[in-house]
Each structure stands twice: as C-alpha cells, then as structure tokens.
Structure 1
Amino acid sequence: MHKYVTVQDLINTLDMEIVYGHEFASNKIISSEVSRPGLILSGFKEFYPSERIQLIGRTEISYLNSQTSRERMEKFRSICREDTPAIVVARKIDTPPELVYVAHEMKVPIISARSKTSRVLANLTNFLEGKLAERFSKHGVFLEVFGMGVLLTGTSGVGKSETALELIQRGHRLIADDRVEFYMIDELTLMGEAPEILQNLLEIRGLGIVDVMSLYGVSAIVRSKKLEVIIEMVLDTGQIEYDRLGSGREYDRIFDVQIPRIRIPVKTGRNLAAIIEAAAMNFRANEMGFDATETFNNKLDALILSNREAENDG
C-alpha cells in the first residue's frame, strides 16, 4: 500500500488555503515530487506526471492570459486528471474561472499560496519528502547536543536514557527515545524524528515514562534533526580495545548515507554526559578542520626528529 498524505494535511501544515473544492480535501497525495506543468500547457503531452501536485506560477498564468477562454479550458483539461490530487496557484494569483470549472468537473481542489513560486515549490517538496519518504527505524536515543544531531546506541540497560536525561538537564534537547525513525531528504542527509506515539517521552528504569516537555518545557524538545554522529555506548568489560587516539573513524550505513560512529566505554564512575558533550564538540571541531590527533602526531614527530638530531650532534 502506498504511503500518502491528504490535501487537508497539506493545508494544516503549510501557509495555504483551499479556495475551490473543499469537498475534495480528502484527495490523497502519493508522490513527493511537484510538477510545473508549463510543457503540457504549451502542448507537449508526453510523460505528464498527472499523479503529482501541479504548481502554477506567474509564468504559466501570463502564458494562459494570452490564450482565448476556449483555449484555456482545453489546456486546463490537459492538466486536471482523475489522479491529480490538487492544483496549487502561487503568489495569491486570482484563479482563472476556466480552471475552477474544470477542477470542479474533475474533483480536483485548487489551493492558493501566498509565497513566490520557488518558495512554494521548496515548501511543498520538503513537506512531502518528510511525510512520504521511505523510513528506517533504529533503536536508540536521539538528541540535539550543541546543535548537532547525536544518536546514542548500545545494548539494553547500558544507560542511554539515563544519560539522555542528564544531557537534557544540562540544556540539550530530546528528539526521540527508544525508537527513532530516519528518512533521507537528499543523498547526503538523514533526518530523524520520534514516532507520534513516543513524542516528548523518555523511559527511565525504575522511574517509568517521563514527559520531557511537561517537566522541562518546550525548549527541551525538538521535533526532527539531521543525524550527524552516532555514539555507541559499550559496557567496559576489559576485553575490548578502543581507539585511544581517535585516528581511526568508523561508520554506520543507514540507507545509502554513511554516518560517523564513536564508541565510548561505559563503566561505573564515568560522567557519560560530559564525555558525550566533549565527543560532540570534538567531532564538530574535526569537521571544521581542527584535528587534535593530527596536532598530537605532528608534535610527536617533531619531538622524535629533535631527539634524533640531538643524538647525531652528540
């Protein structure tokens, strides 16, 4: 079964309104792509994606105004099909009466948007991509730490939610606990959010379910965030070796996006919230070109070279 959103869902979220065809607000939108029907209006009728929302802007209206009423009627019939979910007219442009007639005939609602056409296109695409994109669920706690999307993973009982609670108390924000839904918005970007039933909630062993927004306010939560780094919390049994210098970066692949992963050993007495803060800041510094490991290696190389020169001089 296809994922879909309704025209009413679109109206409820974006700054738009149905100007004609309120009775068709339950029409289903199954494609995240939006069509600018300029080619078909000009007479090219092959490969017309009629199942998409059709967006009409000033360019299309200017062209149509040069046509006779009969010609406009024919052209609007070419873009209003049985599977067309809606027609969106940008810039609050007055809707041509011929479009109203044909849209009513084909049971297609007409939506008016106030923004310029390129902005309307971006808003529609972003909304539909978020709602209709393929999703991947992953176990963990997703947080915004210093503005970065950080996913805490690890075996059950390792302390992910408790660490998340301390991070929230330090001023960071919760996105999702237990199950995180990820979706791609482009080839390099993964967004994550909580399933609707789990929004704002954090489960703490021995305490139960905590409503983070009720306890800490709206500033303690965020609905969605780009995933930038995964921090894997691993119980320190003394049997696992860790990268002490941080020179070997590991990755996890979600869909086709590679996400950097950092492994942090967990044992009694470690302040995990502070370590995760430091890991997030260090990762951001590395992304900006400041690499502490490289600096250390350069200093070490210089020290070794200096000692060799001193031995040769001696």
Structure 2
Amino acid sequence: MGQVTAREVMEMFDLTLISGEEGIGRHIPVSDISRPGLEMAGYFTHYPANRVQLLGKTELSFFALLDVEERRARMMKLCTADTPAVIVSHSMEVPVELMQASNETHVPVLQTSMPTTRFSSKLTNFLESKLAPTTAVHGVLVDVYGVGVLLMGKSGVGKSETALELVKKGHRLVADDAVEIRQEAENTLVGHPPKLIEHLLEIRGVGIIDIMTLFGASAVRTFKRISLVIDLEIWDPEKTYDRLGLEEETVQIIDTHLTKLTIPVRPGRNLAVIIEVAAMNYRLKKMGINAAEEFSNRLNDVIAQDNR
C-alpha cells in the first residue's frame, strides 16, 4: 500500500498552510474524509481521528455560536496525535482556537478556496489512488484497441518483441519488463511503468530502445486499466490447448480476478495478430457476443436434429 503525507496534499491542491507547520509531514493512513459536524456539537465518542478533517460553512457557522471555552475544548479534542490534517474550505477564516490547538498538537491546518463538496470529491479520489493496494509483476502491458493487455510468461519467450510489433501496428506501450499495479477500486486494476524505465523497451540483440522517441507520443501511455492477461508459453506438444474458448480461465492479482488466455509460442505464429484478435474478441464478449457459445449451440442443434 502506498503512502501520502499532508505536505503532498498541500502541494497537489495548492493549499495554504495556516498553522501546525511542524506536522506537515504527517502520514494520511486512510482515504476516508471526515466532516466533523457532530464533533463541533461536542460528540467525540466515535470520532475518526485518523482521517483528514474537512471543515466547511456548516461546521464553522455552528462553531461560531459556541462560547470561548467550548470552542477551545472542541478544537483541542479535534486535533489529536492521530489527526493527519485539518482543512478549511471556501477560503473561510480559520478560528483562532483551531490555530492555537494545531500549534500545540502539531496538526497542520490548511486552507482551500474550493467548495467543500468539490474539494472532498477531489481529495478522496487522490487519496484512493495513492493509498490503493499495490503490487509489481514481471510482464509487458500494452493498450490494444482500448483493452489493457498484460503479457506474461517466462523470460525470453518473446513478450517485448510482441509488444514492439503491436506498437508498430499502432497500439500503445504502457510498461515493459516490470508493471506496477494498483487496485484503485473494486475489480479495477491500473498498471503503471516504473519511472526508471518509462517508455523504454528491451529487445535482446538490439538493447534498450525509447518507444516515444522512435514512434512518437501516441505510441505510449503512462497508465492503463488491465482487463486481459495473456500468458505466453513455449509450445508443449504433450499439452492440450483450448481450441474452442468455451472455458474461461482467470488469474487473481491482488483482490481482482482477470480473464486469462494461454497462447503457445512456436516459430511461424504471428503473436501480434493473435493478441489483436484476442483483445477484439474480449470486447465482443463484454458486449454479449460469444462466438464459441454460438458455435456450441449450433453444434448441439445439429446433433439434436440428427437424433430425431
């Protein structure tokens, strides 16, 4: 799982630091955001202190109705050792009691000009992306007809060469050799290239090539949702490979199950074309068109007629 600090949020959304500067490096452990309305009323029994606290017009207008002692007590309870940050929206004036409490507890108080709901949505999306479960796999990720295809297989089977052929055909490379994967939502895996090898492709006998320099910016992507996994393996004459496509195999990455195809590799097979067809067939299946099932139904109808 990734990490994000209050400083990163401040820089990402161009927030203004009001007080509590010593705590600007605090880690934000969860993507949930709290609107502490009940806490402003004095109810802290189930206070989610480990969340970013977002104060809008509703919370601060009620807070202004309290007497001085109540306001100071509420803000001291709001700013705990676990609170990553307090953010005030609409560029509203930050209460003096909040600034005093934040300086005492080293909880950073930030200010944004955005409306509360809009900022809450943007911050949630940012935190979910940053804090999503992550993993890294050995493979090549390409965008083929809008389908994120993850090519896997043993080293030397031809993953990078196949990706190069796909790029020449107009498809886009996302990552070669190592793919960093984030689960950004339920059943949603997004692949990224490591920064060190972004846009680069390794071809044995040629070396490292820069895809963006050779083929242009349209030949690369910085991220892509993974929809299909294709496992390339050396052709085994003793193994029976699926010829109809009726049985769908899946592979689990993090908590998501993805459709997996196993394609045998041997001289003479045009892997790039096969992967193009696999991607198009995957899209058709998602649209409800399954050629294998239609063939099976036709075959069953013929058998039923012959048995009459």
TM over 0.5: yes
**Pairs aligned (count):** 307
TM-score by length of 1: 0.87
Give the superposed CA RMSD: 2.4
* Alignment-derived partner of residue 236 in structure 2: 237
Q: CA contact under 8 A between 1:230 and 1:261: conserved in structure 2? A: yes
* Alignment-derived partner of residue 312 in structure 1: none
* Alignment-derived partner of residue 254 in structure 2: 255
Describe the SS at the equivalent of 1:29.
Answer: coil
* Alignment-derived partner of residue 64 in structure 2: 65
Aligned pairs (5 A) from 1:5-84: 5-13=4-12, 15-21=13-19, 23-24=21-22, 25-84=24-83
Describe the SS at the equivalent of 1:128.
Answer: helix
What is the CA–CA distance in structure 2 between the aligned matches of 1:198 and 1:50, rounded to whole Å? 39
Is residue 2:268 matched to residue 1:269? yes
Q: CA offsets, 1:256-307, max 9 Å, x none? A: 2211101112222222112111111111111121111111122223333444
Assess, with a 3 A threshold, how the Cα gap between structure 1 residues 213 and 72 changes in structure 2: closer, same or farther: farther
What is the CA–CA distance in structure 2 between the aligned matches of 1:49 and 1:181, rounded to whole Å? 31
What is the CA–CA distance in structure 2 between the aligned matches of 1:8 and 1:221, rounded to whole Å? 31
What is the CA–CA distance in structure 1 between the aligned matches of 2:34 and 2:194, rounded to whole Å? 30
Aligned residues with identical type, % of pairs: 42
Assess, with a 3 A threshold, how the Cα gap between structure 1 residues 140 and 308 changes in structure 2: closer, same or farther: same
* Alignment-derived partner of residue 156 in structure 2: 157
Aligned pairs (5 A) from 1:56-135: 56-135=55-134
Q: CA contact under 8 A between 2:192 and 2:224: conserved in structure 1? A: yes
* Alignment-derived partner of residue 180 in structure 2: 181
Assess, with a 3 A threshold, how the Cα gap between structure 1 residues 269 and 41 changes in structure 2: closer, same or farther: same
What is the CA–CA distance in structure 1 between the aligned matches of 2:121 and 2:296, rounded to whole Å? 46
* Alignment-derived partner of residue 138 in structure 2: 139
Assess, with a 3 A threshold, how the Cα gap between structure 1 residues 308 and 134 changes in structure 2: closer, same or farther: closer
What is the CA–CA distance in structure 2 between the aligned matches of 1:285 and 1:47, rounded to whole Å? 49
Uncovered stretches (5+) of structure 1, i.e. residues with no partner: 310-314
Describe the SS at the equivalent of 2:137.
Answer: strand
What is the CA–CA distance in structure 1 between the aligned matches of 2:253 and 2:151, rounded to whole Å? 15
Describe the SS at the equivalent of 1:28.
Answer: coil
Describe the SS at the equivalent of 2:139.
Answer: strand
